[in-house]
Structure 1
Amino acid sequence: MESGSTRNNTALLQEKLEKDLFHVVYKVPSGDGPYVRAKHAQLVDKDPESAVVWFWKAVNSGDRVCSALKDMAVVLKQLDRSEQAIEAIKSFRGFCPKNAQDSLDNVLIDLYKKCGKYDEQIVLLKRKLKSIYLGEAFNGKPTKSARSHGKKIQVSIKQETSRLLGNLGWAYMKKPNYMAAEVVYRKAQMIDADTNKALNLAFCLIKQARYEEAYVFLQDVLQYKLPGSDDLKSRSRAEELVLELESKQPSHAYLSNSSGMNFEDDFVEALERMMNEWSPTRSRRLPIFEEISQF
């Protein structure tokens, strides 16, 4: 016959297992501090307003400040309060260690994009690209760990450079400064080509009335020559851009309008120097630069 003590131990063990399963299923950390309560409100209760209140309490009490700032920014963005998220990160990032600053910059870039603050986004993206050039990114390592759709992945310097250039090209495109966006997208494609950047590059060329060049990039997508070419949404966009090209008057088909556009600063020239200076001598610090230097 089972004793009372044994039944109690079994009940306690069952309760612990249920709690552990709860944390795994809802991805809520254990504990009872403000940060844990914020995550519970965010992920379990689905109450973003309460989550923000608890995230603020976590920040003010020093409870996992970096995580609280980043998670609160996500919730505030969902609530269309991105401006508040930007101010929170800028005000409290000084309480986070140096190794957390890069991820906070990534959050800020996303928030600037959401708010249409393209100038601020451009400044921050240039700064991150400069840190790669100087060998300061990833703490001097060729790769870093990151998460994508809940899975842990390894990101290389090459991939990160292309990603940042793609974001920079998009920001210039939204200003709109199609000449600057074109130059940046070309560099991104040289490092790590994909369909999305090719379509944006074609769009920039169309806006400059450089239709023949745009058509070449669109054909690369339609002929499945680039990663992501089989994506239905991307192919649909490529087909729409081809129809736009075909609607242009033949007499205007291959005109270049680039000479009439002004690039507001010397970043393109600096980017050219940056690419040209990436030589094998730098490969001891960042090996990928040897691969890039051939361009």
Structure 2
Amino acid sequence: MEDTSVVGSNNNKSFSKGKKYDLYHVLHKVPYGDSPYVRAKHAQVVAKDPEAAIVLFWKAINLGDKVDSALKDMAVVMKQLDRSEEAIEAIRSFRGLCPKQSQESLDNVLMDLYKKCGKIDEQIEMLKRKLKLIYQGEAFNGKLTKTARSHGKKFQVSIKQETSRLLGNLGWAYMQKMNYIMAEVVYRKAQMIDPDCNKACNLGLCLIRQARYEEAQLILEDVLQGKLPGSDDSKTRKRAQDLLKELKSMLPQPHLSDLLGLDEEFIKGLEQLMKEWGPIRSKRLPIFEEISSFRDQLAC
């Protein structure tokens, strides 16, 4: 009985210690072990030492320890330290060591780095390549949906939604290049596939930049009238309202003829007639002369 109780006590202690160990890793979101990658994650997440984390991530990559994860995490840390150019070169140089299933997530990291560095041409090239994979049926591993993650939450994304999203991003990249014709084409394609208010606002802005105010106004009014998905989003509605205000400030001021609903030719005719009549003179009819005389007599 005595030996059993001791063993039980030790097991309980071991179980308790293991439980705390598990809780530590769950709370700090760091993996188990003592490999270079694990130590790099500890430096990044727990010790908050980004420079040390980068050194350890490099070590993990060189030793082949979770190369894809180390490469992505290192790029994120480098971006935080304004070393985005260096991060881009690292991914380009070492992504060949990473498995096929990690290439898409590496592309996503690269896209963020391109945005940070203002590399618009690179963004356009990558977005076109991603869209080409969809057209060729090579995206999503041949499936119609995939699991995506945003703000820690997982959700399903369809091929249609992903295509529209990528087209929307491509449209915005063309907007930055001030290539409004290409941006319009891309935005309209995106809206045909999977419409939403955000892309509608961007299309409206694109048309405003081309001075096509009436078309832009119709699109923005659709947002405010709740005709598109996402119309209930307060930020999007506010943006549509601001764009409409900007649009109206650019419109030419209406002439008097526009306000009265009269055509210019008719107005010119009236002006010519008035010129022919000459200045208006005050003429008193005889009846007013008689009244004035009668009034003067009464006053006496």
Q: Same fold (TM over 0.5)?
A: yes
Q: Which residue of 2 aligns with 1:54?
A: 56
Q: How does 1:97-108 map to 2 (within 5 A)?
A: 97-108=99-110
Partner of 2:148: helix, strand, or coil?
strand
Q: What per-residue deviation string (whole Å, max 9, x for no partner) do you get for residues 65-114 of structure 1? A: 01111111222222221111110100000101222222212221221111
Distance in structure 2 (CA, Å) of the matches to 1:163 and 1:244:
26
Counterpart pick for 1:246 among 241, 245, 248: 248
Distance in structure 2 (CA, Å) of the matches to 1:235 and 1:105:
32
- Give 1 or 2 for the bigger CA radius of gyration: 2
Matched to 2:208, the amino acid is: I
Q: Which residue of 2 aligns with 1:88?
A: 90
The reply to whether residue 162 of structure 1 matches residue 181 of structure 2 is no
- The offset of 1:117, in angstroms, is 0.5
Q: How many percent of aligned residue pairs carry the same amino acid?
A: 71
Matched to 1:202, the amino acid is: G
Partner of 1:35: helix, strand, or coil?
helix
The reply to whether residue 126 of structure 1 matches residue 128 of structure 2 is yes
TM (norm. structure 2) is 0.79
Two-structure CA RMSD over aligned residues (Å) = 1.8
The reply to whether residue 25 of structure 1 matches residue 27 of structure 2 is yes
The reply to whether residue 193 of structure 1 matches residue 195 of structure 2 is yes
Q: Which residue of 2 aligns with 1:110?
A: 112
Partner of 1:166: helix, strand, or coil?
helix
Distance in structure 2 (CA, Å) of the matches to 1:249 and 1:154:
43
TM (norm. structure 1) is 0.81
Counterpart pick for 1:146 among 145, 148, 163: 148
Partner of 2:147: helix, strand, or coil?
strand
- The offset of 1:4, in angstroms, is 4.2
- For these two proteins, the number of residue pairs brought into alignment is 252
Matched to 1:82, the amino acid is: S
Partner of 1:46: helix, strand, or coil?
coil
Counterpart pick for 2:46 among 44, 47, 51: 44
Which blocks of at least 5 consecutive residues in structure 2 are unaligned? Answer: 255-300
- The offset of 1:3, in angstroms, is 4.5
Higher relative contact order (CA 8 A, sep 6+): 1
